[in-house]
Amino acid sequence: MKVLVPVKRVVDYNVKVRVKSDGSGVDIANVKMSMNPFDEIAIEEAVRLKEAGKVTEVVAVSCGVSQCQETLRTGMAIGADRGILVETGVELEPLGVAKLLKALADKEQPQLIILGKQAIDDDSNQTGQMLAALLGWPQATFASKVVLEDGKAVVTREVDGGLETLSLTLPAIVTTDLRLNEPRYVTLPNIMKAKKKPLDTVKPEDLGVDVAPRLKTLKVAEPAKRSAGIKVPDVATLVAKLRTEAKVI
């Protein structure tokens, strides 16, 4: 069984992002970039399934600029067998990524695609669902447990009322939640081994996919700073201020 795992290069979650002075976007110059945490969980899960003997090959895929190779090497250091980079300088939208992944899925013929439920930069939470629609495959989102048995994927997912268990006929799409696993620490020997693993590069044109943007960002602005709180002498004053100033009661 082959598993495809899309991974995204994003601003590291420890970095405090800054908006560009012209309001056109987020400043990523000289900023530490890393693999999207949800995608890291997806890679870890695929590797665990391989270690359990359920999967034979794990293929990491990334779409974006040439620096995404570093993200793919991290995925291969975790345990992916090879990497594919769809190289483009265009700012990709979820639909564009889903179309690229569909083209790769048609070419690679994986039985399972595991990806993070969302990226921490745009928080769209759309790519997995769009990919499932384009491929016509069953999907299970926000997975907290994945079990492969008898040609099916049994996925446990968290819902408002508790836990929901779905049985998917393969091939299928699974998007990962934080509670699925805790990614392993990448050791130096595995980083060195990852450098020797195959990494193919293709262009969107090679896959016959148009990734031209359909959306235009008009303005990006930082949220307004919170005003300082005040102390009140008693409950009566608090209630009066909530009623007259805040107008919440």
In the DSSP assignment, the letter for residue 228 is P
Select 2-244's CATH number: 3.40.50.620, 3.30.450.20, 3.40.50.2000, 2.30.42.10.
3.40.50.620
Task: Find tokens 């969980």 and name the residue.
Answer: 41
Predicted TM-score (pTM) of this structure: 0.84
Contact 4, 46 (CB under 8 A): no
Residue 142 φ/ψ, nearest 5 degrees:
55, 50
| Per-residue pLDDT of the chain in tens (249 residues, 90 and over written 9) | 999 999 999 999 988 888 888 888 888 888 899 999 999 999 999 999 999 999 999 999 999 999 999 999 999 999 999 999 999 988 899 999 999 999 999 999 999 999 999 999 889 999 999 999 999 999 999 999 999 988 899 999 988 888 999 999 999 999 999 999 999 999 999 999 999 999 999 999 999 999 998 888 888 888 888 888 889 999 999 999 899 888 888
- If residue 6 lies in a helix (H) or strand (E), which one and from where to where? strand 2-6
Q: How far apart are CA 204 and CA 3, in angstroms?
A: 21
Q: How far apart are CA 101 and CA 83, in angstroms?
A: 13
pLDDT computed for residue 64 by the predictor:
92
Contact 107, 4 (CB under 8 A): no
| Pick from 115, 15, 108: nearest CA to 75 | 115
How far from chain centre, in Å, is Cα 12? 13
